[in-house]
Amino acid sequence: MHTATLLTLLPLALAAPSKRDAPAPVLKPRGAQVIEGKYIVKMKADAKPESVQTSIQAVSSDADFVYNSNKFKGFAGSLSAEELEALQNNEDVEYIEQDATVTIKATQENADWGLARLSSSETGSTTYTYDDSAGEGTCAYVIDTGIYTEHEEFEGRATFLANYADDDDTDGNGHGTHVAGTIGSRTYGVAKKTTLFAVKVLDASGSGTNSGVIAGMDFVAQDASGQNCPKGVVVNMSLGGSSSSAVNQAAAGIVDAGLFLAVAAGNEATDASSSSPASEESACTVGATTIDDDLAEYSNFGSVVDILAPGTDIESTWNDGSTNTISGTSMASPHIAGLGAYYLGLDASPVDSLCAYIAQTALSGAISGVPSGTANKLANNGESS
């Protein structure tokens, strides 16, 4: 496989719950590295806040995260076997999913071509043509390893908002800074005037948990309405793990909040339906291409992939104030998040149909090696000559 970027309660017994016909299911993400004794408890949509709080207080360990968005209510934390069984019998619990590890992978190579491809009808151009509005009035959340906000390429438009990975409010990895640069940096960005927000869910090694990722997603779904983003909001998730109902439902919650969500298809050269959040239908799932207009050998594929974008040998900002060139569907996804912000700035499409609009304006049949059943649509900003 081509290594590329893609980028984890109760002192007394639970109060007696209402009777239910069958226990709530306990799910395990397929093929994931699960975390022993750690679980994500998804409450039903109509569960009252006091029911959620009672369930949290009935567990002996403190909750690691509490989720409060309309789409995803619940909590994550350590559960004993007895506590797990009691929660399964709680009428207000929809399901329980074992927590699992989420990671990114990166390689360093040399090239710079992705931006030019977005505004060209043929490969080989070195010119990026775009409307000077450049995403002004939009905001872009980067759910990742953080952002080095002091990078001069961000021109003061990047802010660190939240951290669900560790105690270090910076990007110790570089991945999140690279992603943010492709979305909206001065030189390497698609939408050069968007406002960038860092939501850290992965640590300096590029690792995190599903529970922490969901906490970041829940934060974004609630925070966006309070920000000054008159033209709209995009969200990028250049990360993934094995298929997870909880992660997918949290992704749907971001879309439900009226935000555009671009996600990396994954780097396993397999069907993206086996990965989350790539398999969430309401997200805009992005596969990766090369400078020669081939589907990248590592890129996931399949019917859940909505659009293709440059992903191999992409130069962008790095966490030491310089730049770096790396590869992966992690690099493809921010091209689409940036393009989403660019189109929102132009009032080209409502946010709820933005992924379809990006596919509609894409170049059809331009990429070689795309399997049957995968959309052969290469993103384009409509400025092709």
Q: Could you tell me which residues come within 8 angstroms of residue 143 by beta carbon, excluding any fewer than 6 positions away?
A: 199, 201, 213, 216, 217, 220, 235, 236, 237, 239
d(CA 237, CA 278): 9
d(CA 377, CA 385): 18
> What single letter denotes the amino acid at residue 134?
A
Three-class SS state of 253? helix
**Nearest CA among 307, 282, 286 for reference residue 5:** 286
The 10 Å CB-count burial string (b at 16+, else e) for 314-346 is bbbbbbeeebbbbbbbbbbbbbbbbbbbbbbbb
Q: Which long-range contacts (CB under 8 A, 24 or more apart) does 62-69 make?
A: 62/9, 63/9, 64/38, 64/211, 64/212, 65/164, 65/211, 65/212, 65/214, 65/215, 65/218, 67/214, 67/215, 67/218, 67/250, 68/218, 68/222, 69/218, 69/221, 69/222, 69/250, 69/253, 69/257
> Phi and psi for 16 in degrees, rounded to 5?
-60, 115
Structure tokens at 234: 């995009």
d(CA 219, CA 49): 17
Annotated catalytic sites, by residue? 144, 175, 330
In 10 A of CB 268, how many CB atoms? Answer: 18
Question: What is the secondary structure of 302-351 as a DSSP string?
Answer: STT--EEEE-SSEEEE-TTSSEEEE-SHHHHHHHHHHHHHHHHHTT-S-G
> What single letter denotes the amino acid at residue 143?
I
**Nearest CA among 239, 225, 253 for reference residue 70:** 253
